[in-house]
Structure 1
Amino acid sequence: MTAGKTAADAEAEEELLRRLKSFEGRPAATAARAKDPVNEPMIRHWCEAMGDTNPAYTGPGATAPPTMLQAWTMGGLSGHTSRATAHDELFALLDAAGCTSVVATDCEQEYLRPLRPGDTVTFDAVIESVSPRKTTKLGSGHFVTTRMDVHANGELAGTHRFRILKYAPVAKRPPKPEAAGPRRPRPVVNRDNQGFWDGVREHKLLIQRCTACATLRFPWLPGCNACSSPDWDTVEASGAGTVFSYVVMHHPPFPAFDPPYAVALVELAEGVRVIGNITGVPYDKVRIGLPVRLEFLRVDDALELPVFRAEAG
C-alpha cells in the first residue's frame, strides 16, 4: 500500500479496475458501415494535405494511401449512431472516477489489402484492453486500446489499433510571484553552445574557428559549414562592429520587454554576424552602417546578455 492511501482507497481502486477490466472484449462497433465508399476526391485531399505525390494514388488503377485506413471509418461530427456504445459506458465510468481528460498516445496499423475507389468499407471494433492506473506527467489514469478490423467489400483489408489515455489532470501550481517584474526568457543552453555562454559569463564574445580550414562561424555549430571538420577552437571578438540590418519591435507586447526597441544583425570586425539589442540611442536613430561596440547587459540576477551600444559620432 502506497503512502497516503488508505485501505478504503485501495479497495475502491481495485473495484474500479475490476469494472474497467469487464469492458475488455466488448464490441464497440459491429458491422458498422462507412458513410462513403472509397473515393478519389477524399484520396486527393489526403494526398494534398500530406504532400504525397506518389502516382499510385492517382489515375486508372489508383489505390488509397494505406495510412488512410482509419479515415474511411470516421463518422464525422454527426457520428455513426445515436445509440450508446461500450465506449460511451467506459468513458462515463472513467469520467466519474475523475479521469475527465483524454489524449491519444499511439496507433498501430496492419495492411492486408489495398483499398480502391468504389470499395464499400465496413468495420468491427472491440475494446481490447484497459490498463491498471498509470501515472504520467499529465496525470494518472488508464490506457484504453481499441482494435478495429476494417473490411472492403467483405474482405479483411487491415487492422487498426488505437490507444488513448483517459486521465485526471495534474492540478496546476500557481505561478511563483516575480520579485521585480517578469523575467526575460532563458536562452537554450546545450552541449553545442555551452562554451559560448561560458564566455558570456566571463564577459567574452567567443567565436568558433575551424582548426582545419580556419573558417570563423557564428552561431556555434557542432561542425564546420565550410569543410565539415568537427574540430575547432575559439577566438575572442574585439567587440567592434556595424549594424548590417535591423528591425524595430512594436508588437506583440511581451512580459519583460518594453517596446519599441531595436534588434540588429551586427557584423563584427571579424566578419561574422551576431543578433543583439542596440543600446545607447533611441530606436528610431538606428541605421544600417551604424558603428557599435559590444557590452554586457545584466537583465536580472541570473542572466547577462551581450548587446551592442552605438558608438558616438
Structure 2
Amino acid sequence: MNPGGQDARADAPDPLYERLAAYAGRPAATAASGKDPVNAPMIRHWCEAVGDTSPAYRGPDAVAPPTMLQAWTMRGLAPDPGAPEDLEASGAPEDLEAPGGDGGTGRSPAYDGLLRLLDGAGYTSVVATDCEQEYLRPLRPGDLITYDSVIESVSPRKTTKLGTGYFVTTRMDVRADGEPAGTHRFRILKYRPVERSTERPVERSSGREAPLRPRPVINRDNAGFWSGVAEHRLLIQRCTRCATLRFPWLPGCNACAGQEWDTVEASGEGTVFSHVVMHHPSFPACDPSGEGGPYAVALVGLVEGVRIVANVVGVPYDKVRVGLPVRLEFLRTDPDLELPVFRAGEGG
C-alpha cells in the first residue's frame, strides 16, 4: 500500500520521521469492545440512510450490511466513561508504552501521542484519504463486537496538492463473539497546508488561477470503472449469480450477496432524478465550465436502472430540473483527469 504524493526533498534528513516511524506496529486499541451489540435498529437506520433495500438485512435471518463493519466499533460523540481527560497523563509521545486509564475501551496512548507529535510540529490539518475493508463472516443481530487496532504504518514526508505531511495508516481487526469478522484499514493525511498562492497554477492567457479537480481515490474495488472511463466507456457491474446491476461499484451484490460479477456498458441515456445547485462554498475546481460561480450536480437515472452523481453541462445551472433528458459524455478537466458528465438533451 503506497500512499499518494511525492517525497518531500527525499535527500533531506527528516528527524521528525524517525520519531514518527517508531510508532509503526504500536497498538491504537487492545481488546476494545463495541458500545452496542449488532442490532436491528442500527441496521435499519443504516439501510434507510444509504437506500439499501436488500431483503438480506431484514427479518429473522437478517445480517448486517458488510460495510457497517466499522460502525460497531465507533465510540460515538460522548466521551468514554473513565477515559483520561488529559491525554498527557496517558503518556507523552516519547513514552510509547506509558499506561493510562482507558475506561475499559482498550484505548492505547500511542495513537494520541502520534497525533500530538504531528500537531506540535505544525502538521495540524487532517483529511481522510481512503479505507479498505475485508469481510470474513457475516455480522448478525446479537453479535458482541471486540477489536484490536494497530498503527500499521507512517509514510515518509510527502508533498501533495493540499500540502506537505505524513500518511498514517491504521488497521483494525474486528471479531464477532470472539471469531474473526473482518479487517478495516483507514488512512489519513496529517499535513501543513500550503499557501493558496502556491497551490494553484496560473493560466498565462488569462492570468487567472486554474484550480485542479480533486483526484478520485482508485482502489481494487473500483479500478475497473476508471479503466472504462479512460476508454470513454461507462461500465456498470452486473452480478453473475442474479444479474442485478449495481452502481457505484461494490465488492459484492446487494441483492444476493454474490461475489462474482461482470460488467455491462451503459448506453449513456438518462434523466435527472434529483439535483442540487452549488452556490456556497465556492469550489471552482468542480465547476465543469471552469468559469466559477454556481453549478449543478445531479443524480442521473440511467436507462439501465442505476443512478450516478455527475455534473450537468450544456444548460445554465438554473435550467436543470427533475426529468431533464441527458446524454453521457466525457470531460477532460486537466491533462491528468477525465470524468463522465451529462449534457442536457435537445429541447430539455
CA separation of 1:125 and 1:79: change in aligned 2, threshold 3 A: farther
SS class of match (1:47): helix
Alpha-carbon distance in 2 for matches of 1:48, 1:95? 38
CA displacement, residues 84-128 of structure 1 (integer Å, 9 cap, x when unaligned) = 421110001111111100000010101001100011001100000
Alpha-carbon distance in 2 for matches of 1:64, 1:275? 42
CA displacement, residues 256-308 of structure 1 (integer Å, 9 cap, x when unaligned) = 9xxxxxxxxxxxxxxxxx968xxxxxxxxxxxxxxxxxxxxxxxxxxxxxxxx
Q: Match of 2:63?
A: 63
Identity of aligned residues (%): 67
SS class of match (2:152): strand
Whichever residue aligns with residue 192 of structure 2, its letter is A
Match of 1:163 among 187, 192, 204: 187
- What is the number of residues matched between the two proteins? 182
CA displacement, residues 135-174 of structure 1 (integer Å, 9 cap, x when unaligned) = 0000010000000000111111000000000000112239
Matched, 1:73 2:97: no
SS class of match (2:196): coil
CA separation of 1:48 and 1:18: change in aligned 2, threshold 3 A: same
Alpha-carbon distance in 2 for matches of 1:101, 1:275? 37
Alpha-carbon distance in 2 for matches of 1:87, 1:76? 18
CA separation of 1:132 and 1:40: change in aligned 2, threshold 3 A: same
Whichever residue aligns with residue 49 of structure 1, its letter is A
Matched, 1:127 2:151: yes
Alpha-carbon distance in 1 for matches of 2:78, 2:156? 32
CA displacement, residues 155-214 of structure 1 (integer Å, 9 cap, x when unaligned) = 110000000000001122399xxxxxxx9xxxxxxxxxxxxxxxxxxxxxxxxxxxxxxx
Rg larger for? 1
Q: Match of 1:140?
A: 164
* Structure 1 outlier segments of 4+, above 3 Å: none
How far 1:66 moved relative to its partner?
0.2
SS class of match (1:124): strand
5 Å matches for 1:189-200?
Answer: none
How far 1:78 moved relative to its partner?
2.2
CA separation of 1:80 and 1:29: change in aligned 2, threshold 3 A: farther
CA separation of 1:140 and 1:60: change in aligned 2, threshold 3 A: same
How far 1:77 moved relative to its partner?
1.1
How far 1:224 moved relative to its partner?
11
SS class of match (1:78): coil
CA separation of 1:127 and 1:224: change in aligned 2, threshold 3 A: closer
Whichever residue aligns with residue 50 of structure 1, its letter is V
CA displacement, residues 226-259 of structure 1 (integer Å, 9 cap, x when unaligned) = xxxxxxxxxxxxxxxxxxxxxxxxx99x9x9xxx
Matched, 1:172 2:196: yes
Q: What do you get for the CA RMSD once the two structures are aligned? A: 3.4
Matched, 1:52 2:41: no
CA displacement, residues 15-39 of structure 1 (integer Å, 9 cap, x when unaligned) = 1111000000000000111110000
CA separation of 1:115 and 1:171: change in aligned 2, threshold 3 A: same
5 Å matches for 1:1-313?
Answer: 10-11=12-13, 13=14, 15-80=15-80, 82-83=83-84, 84=87, 85-173=109-197
Alpha-carbon distance in 1 for matches of 2:114, 2:25? 12
Alpha-carbon distance in 1 for matches of 2:67, 2:315? 43
How far 1:72 moved relative to its partner?
0.3
Alpha-carbon distance in 2 for matches of 1:127, 1:224? 44
TM-score, reference length from structure 1: 0.52
SS class of match (1:61): coil
How far 1:74 moved relative to its partner?
0.3
Whichever residue aligns with residue 130 of structure 1, its letter is V
Alpha-carbon distance in 2 for matches of 1:100, 1:79? 22
Alpha-carbon distance in 1 for matches of 2:63, 2:268? 45
TM-score, reference length from structure 2: 0.47
SS class of match (1:161): strand
CA separation of 1:55 and 1:224: change in aligned 2, threshold 3 A: closer
Alpha-carbon distance in 2 for matches of 1:109, 1:137? 26
Whichever residue aligns with residue 97 of structure 1, its letter is A
Gaps (5+ residues) in structure 2?
Answer: 1-8, 88-108, 201-207, 209-266, 270-278, 283-290, 292-313, 317-348
